Amino acid sequence: MFKGSTWDFFRGGARTAAARDAAWRATAKAAPKAPTQSAARARVLCVASGKGGTGKSVVASNIAVLRARAGEKVLLIDFDAGMANAHLLLGVQPKFDLGHVLDGEVSAAFAAVPGPHGLYMISGGVGRASLLNPTPRELERLFTALAPLETEFDLIIVDHGAGLSYATLAHMAAATELLLVTTHEVTSLSDAYALYKQATVVNPSIHVGVVLNRVPDELAARSAWTRFQGAASKFLAKTPEFIGWVPHDEAVSHSVQARQPVTLRDPESPAGQAIAKISRWDAIDQIRRNGSFYDAARRALR
Ligand SMILES: Nc1ncnc2c1ncn2[C@@H]1O[C@H](COP(=O)(O)OP(=O)(O)OP(=O)(O)O)[C@@H](O)[C@H]1O
Ligand SMILES: [Mg+2]
């Protein structure tokens, strides 16, 4: 994968992380820089929610793995920094995470580990205090460190922590597409509405798609969507796109236990089928960027 790129070089070669990183830095300095404008940049999809536990990581990791299986070079970044669990859902054991990247111990590319179907992921780290509430300056450092990956992947999916943090706001300010995951419950819908409102404040042109997850049936999904849409059009004079709904399905809990995405483990299950359909959301293919996502995210912090 990524033949001829610096990626090849630094996934193999030197024995220790430090040696590999030093070698990488030396090579990166020596190598002639490709003109920025001609470098293809990854499309970036942010996955967020107002309330916690709505299923963001389940949805994000399944979309990532299905898109990778379809042949895209996909990177999943778990930006639920300090409380990460996307690696558990994918059954991978990253040695390094965003915390190591932030501390300058390894480069972002080195923190990326391979997952199912050629997907790569960077973990947000578990229990690292420095990552729980990164300052704008720390975020700027992280964005700078992640920027080189934009030219290594076709698609970067960012799985956020719940609610509105600096990190989520900066990502939303830079993103063209946001996938908002909520359940049908009124508390979850209300928090999703608050997040949608903030997304449109920091980025009036952002395109937002909503997934209703863990819903008992179609009637509940319809009624929840009608309420959400009604509030958004009444108070914000704009509405997001309804992407689809995913039933509450034990197949998801079983897949979490088995550390395998439900769309791979049980593709015929109702949730597996619904998430597979969501992974084909055409807006993901239509993401167009003028410049660097991480440059825009850095500017949003100032
Ligand atoms: N459609 C579903 N049916 C049944 N259970 C589900 C479904 N979606 C998610 N779950 C369950 O909900 C749990 C939380 O899901 P997930 O970790 O994806 O939520 P999250 O929004 O990422 O949470 P956090 O806000 O903590 O990051 C999962 O462990 C899974 O068992
Ligand atoms: Mg999560």
pLDDT in tens, 114-160: 999 999 999 998 877 777 788 999 999 999 999 999 999 999 999 99
Ligand 2 center to 89 CA (angstroms): 10
Q: What is the pLDDT of residue 131?
A: 79
Ligand 2 center to 297 CA (angstroms): 21
pLDDT tens column, 241-257: 999 999 999 999 999 99
Place of tokens 């111990």: 105
Ligand 1 proximity of 125 Cβ (cutoff 6 Å): no
Q: What is the pLDDT of residue 3?
A: 36
Residue 77 scores a pLDDT above 50: yes
Say if residues 177 and 284 touch (Cβ distance below 8 Å): yes
Q: In the predicted model, what is the mean pLDDT of residues 8-22?
A: 42
Q: Which of 256, 262, 273, 277 to mutate to test the pocket of ligand 1 (most atoms within 8 A of CB)?
A: 256
pLDDT over 70 percentage in the chain: 87
Q: What is the pLDDT of residue 26?
A: 42
Ligand 1 proximity of 160 Cβ (cutoff 6 Å): no
Q: Which of 46, 58, 273 to mutate to test the pocket of ligand 1 (most atoms within 8 A of CB)?
A: 58
b/e map of 258-280 (b: 16 or more CB within 10 Å)? eebbbbbbbeebbbbbbbbebbe
**Cα gap 19→198, rounded to integer Å:** 43
Task: Looking at the CA of residue 275, tell me the nearest atom of ligand 1.
Answer: 1
Ligand 1 center to 59 CA (angstroms): 8
The rounded mean pLDDT for the chain is: 88
Q: What is the pLDDT of residue 2?
A: 38
Residue 288: count other Cβ atoms within 10 Å of its Cβ: 8
Q: How confident is the model at residue 83 (pLDDT cuts 50, 70, 90)?
A: confident
Q: For 42-300, which CATH class?
A: alpha beta
> In 3-state terms, what secondary structure has residue 121?
strand
Say if residues 96 and 110 touch (Cβ distance below 8 Å): yes
Ligand 1 proximity of 88 Cβ (cutoff 6 Å): no
Say if residues 183 and 214 touch (Cβ distance below 8 Å): yes
The residues near 18 (Cβ < 8 Å, ≥ 6 apart) are 105
41 by Cβ neighbours in 10 Å (0-12 / 13-18 / 19+) ranks as: buried
Q: In the predicted model, what is the mean pLDDT of residues 62-71?
A: 98
Backbone angles phi, psi at 47, to 5 degrees: -120, 120
Ligand 1 proximity of 55 Cβ (cutoff 6 Å): yes
Place of tokens 């830095």: 25
What is the CA angle 275-261-257, rounded to 5?
A: 125
Q: How confident is the model at residue 39 (pLDDT cuts 50, 70, 90)?
A: low
**Cα gap 247→224, rounded to integer Å:** 13
Ligand 2 center to 86 CA (angstroms): 7
Comparison of pLDDT for 16 and 145, the residue scoring more = 145
Q: What is the pLDDT of residue 8?
A: 39
**Cα gap 16→110, rounded to integer Å:** 11
Comparison of pLDDT for 32 and 175, the residue scoring more = 175
Q: Which of 79, 42, 49 is nearest to 199 (CA)?
A: 49
pLDDT over 90 percentage in the chain: 80
pLDDT tens column, 276-299: 999 999 999 999 878 999 999 999
Ligand 1 proximity of 49 Cβ (cutoff 6 Å): yes
Q: What is the pLDDT of residue 127?
A: 77
- pTM comes to 0.89
**Cα gap 220→69, rounded to integer Å:** 32
Every domain of the chain and the residues it spans: 1-33, 42-300
Q: In the predicted model, what is the mean pLDDT of residues 12-26?
A: 43
Comparison of pLDDT for 233 and 11, the residue scoring more = 233
What is the CA angle 205-209-214, rounded to 5?
A: 155
**Cα gap 113→88, rounded to integer Å:** 13
Residue 23 scores a pLDDT above 80: no
Ligand 1 center to 252 CA (angstroms): 8
Q: What is the pLDDT of residue 115?
A: 97
pLDDT tens column, 192-227: 999 999 999 999 999 999 999 999 999 999 999 999
**Cα gap 87→110, rounded to integer Å:** 15
Q: What is the pLDDT of residue 84?
A: 84
